[in-house]
Amino acid sequence: MTVWDELVGQDQVIEHLAAAARDADALVTAEAARSEAAASAPHGEPPRPRSAATSMTHAWLFTGPPGSGRATAARAFAAALQCVSPDRALGSAPGCGFCDGCHTALIGSHADVEVVRSELLSIGVKDTRDLVRRAQLAPAGGRWQVIVFEDADRLTEGAGNVLLKAVEEPAPRTVWLLCAPSIEDVLPTIRSRCRLLTLRTPPVAAVADMLARRDGIAPELAAAMAQATQGHIGRARRLATDERARARRAAVLRMPLRIDEVGGCLRSAQELVDAAAEDAKQLAEEVDTKETEELRAALGAASGSGGRLPRGTAGAVKDLQDRQKKRATRTQRDTLDLALTDLVSFYRDVLAVQLGSTVPLANADVRDAVERVARETSAERTLRRIEAVLACRTALDRNVAPLLAVEAMAMALRAG
C-alpha cells in the first residue's frame, strides 16, 4: 500500500508527484544537514550548496473533470510530503502510506496539513485571510506546511486576490495545493504561479475494480455503477454503497417516460426538487445539531441546549447559522446537479441508440427505457432535450429558484 493507491488511472500524474515528493524530501534533508553543520562549525554557516534542479515547487493546481480525483491526488501528495518512513533512508520513495506522517495526513489529522473543503457556494475574503495567516507559520513537524484548497473555483474575486499575495510570496516551507475543474476556474494571476497537473477521467473498468477491491462491493454492482457514472469514482461509490442514492437515480431515469402529459411533467419536477431538499435536510440533521452544540459549549453556554449564552457571543452563533443555511442550499443544489447529470447521460444513451452507435450504454441497467424513448422520438428531438437539461443547469447556476428551473426543464423536455 502507498499514498497513491486511491488514485485510479492517473499514472502520469502520480509519476510527477512522486518525483516532486522525492525532491522535496531531498530539500528537507539537505537543509537539516546544513543547519547541523552550521551548529558544529566554528566559523559560522557553511556556504549554501548551489541549488540543483528540482521538480518541487510551492504552488500546484490540480485540474480535471469531476470525479477524476483532483482532491484525492492533492491529499496523496500532501501525505507524501509528510512521509517519515525510515525506509526512505534506504532510497525508497516518500509516500509509504503507513508511517505516522502519511497516515495522519491521509485521515486528516496531521498538524501541518490543512484541507479546505468548502460546503459553501463561495469562499470569502475572511476565511481566506485566516488561511493565509496560517500558511505563514513554519510547519510544526519541521517538514512542510501544506494547504489543500479543494474548491479553489469557489473563491470570490476578493478572496482570490488575498490568496494571490500568499502564492506570490510563499513562506519557505509552505505548499499550496489548489483544486479546480479547469484552469479557467482560477484567476489567471494565480494559475500562472502554479504548476499545473491535469487528471483524466479514469477508465470505467479501473473504477469498478477499485470499488470491488477496496470497498468490498460486489463486482457486478461495482461494474454497473462505474459504467452508469462513466468513471466518476465518488458518484460510483456513493451509488454502490447508498441504497437511497440508487433509488433517487432510478426515479430520475423514470422521468423521461413520464413527460408525455403535463401532470406527469410537473409531478416529476416536484419530486426531483423534493428529493434534493430531503437530502439537504438529512445532512443538516446529522451535522448542524452537533456543530451548534459544540459551538455553544466552546462559548461557555450554561448546560442544556436551552442554556443562556454569555454576553457578546450571539454573533458567533448567528455566523454558524448563516453558514449552515448556505450549506443546505449547496447540498440541495449539488443533489439536483447530480440528477441533471443522470438525465443528460440517459438522453446521451438514447441518442447513441438512435444513431446506431455500438458504444456500450452508460445506463445499461435501464436499457429498455432507453430503447423505448429512442424508438418513439428522433435524434433531433433528443438533442433538443439534452439542451433543455443543460439550460436548467445554467439556470440553477444563476440562482433561479430550483422548482421554477426544473419545471421549465420538464416542460421543455415534453415539447422537445
> Of 85 and 128, which has the nearer Cβ to Zn ion?
85
Residue 108 or 203 with smaller CB distance to Zn ion? 108
- In order of 51, 123, 404, 405, the CA distances from 401 in angstroms are 56, 22, 5, 6
The answer to whether residues 3 and 79 touch, using CB atoms and an 8 Å cutoff, is yes
Min separation Cβ 181 and Zn ion, Å: 30
- How far apart are CB 32 and Zn ion at their closest, in Å? 17
Q: Which three cell numbers stand for residue 101?
A: 506522517
- Nearest CB to Zn ion, comparing residues 113 and 406: 113
Q: Tell whether residue 135 is a contact of Zn ion (CB under 5 A).
A: no
- If binding is defined by CB under 5 A, does position 233 make contact with Zn ion? no
Single out the segment in contact with Zn ion by CB under 5 A; choices: 85-93, 133-141, 305-313, 386-394: 85-93
Name the one range near Zn ion by CB under 5 A: 79-87, 268-276, 313-321, 373-381: 79-87
Task: State CA 162 to chain mean position distance.
Answer: 22
Site size toward Zn ion (CB under 5 A) is 5
Closest distance of CB 117 from Zn ion, Å: 23
Q: Provide the minimum distance between the beta carbon of 69 and Zn ion in the complex, in angstroms, as a whole number.
A: 20
User: Which string of DSSP letters, residue by residue, matches 173-241?
Assistant: TEEEEEEESSGGGS-HHHHTTSEEEE--PPPHHHHHHHHHHHH---HHHHHHHHHHTTT-HHHHHHHHH
Where in 190-209 is the site for Zn ion (CB under 5 A)?
none
Identified binder of Zn ion from the candidate list 7, 13, 83, 253, rule CB under 5 A:
83
* Smallest separation, CB 100 to Zn ion (Å): 8
Among 85, 227, 341, 345, binds Zn ion (CB under 5 A): 85
Which of residues 83 and 135 has its CB atom nearest to Zn ion in the complex? Answer: 83
CB of 287 to Zn ion, least distance (A): 31
Pseudo-torsion of CA 2, 7, 13, 15, nearest 10°? 20
Distance of CA 26 to the CA centre of its chain: 30
Q: Can you name the residues that pair with 155 across neighbouring β-strands?
A: 123
Q: Name the nearest CA neighbour of 347 among 397, 302, 315, 387.
A: 387
Distance from C-alpha of 181 to C-alpha of 19, rounded to nearest angstrom: 24
Q: How far is the CB of 5 from Zn ion (least distance, A)?
A: 13
Nearest to 32 by CA among 121, 126, 141: 141
In the complex, the smallest distance separating the C-beta of residue 102 from Zn ion, rounded to whole angstroms, is: 3
- In 3-state terms, what secondary structure has residue 148? strand
Answer yes or no whether residue 17 interacts with Zn ion by CB under 5 A. Answer: no
User: What distance in Å separates the CA atoms of residue 85 and residue 94, rounded to the nearest whole number?
Assistant: 7
Q: What x-and-dash track marks residues 90-109 binding Zn ion by CB under 5 A?
A: ------x--x--x-------
Residue with Cβ nearer Zn ion (85 or 118): 85
Look up cell 406527469; give the residue: 264
Listed ranges 89-97, 113-121, 214-222, 294-302: which one lies at the site for Zn ion (CB under 5 A):
89-97
Q: Does 24 bind Zn ion (CB under 5 A)?
A: no
The answer for residues whose C-beta is within 8 angstroms of residue 15's C-beta and 6 or more apart is none
Give residues in contact with Zn ion (CB under 5 A): 83, 85, 96, 99, 102
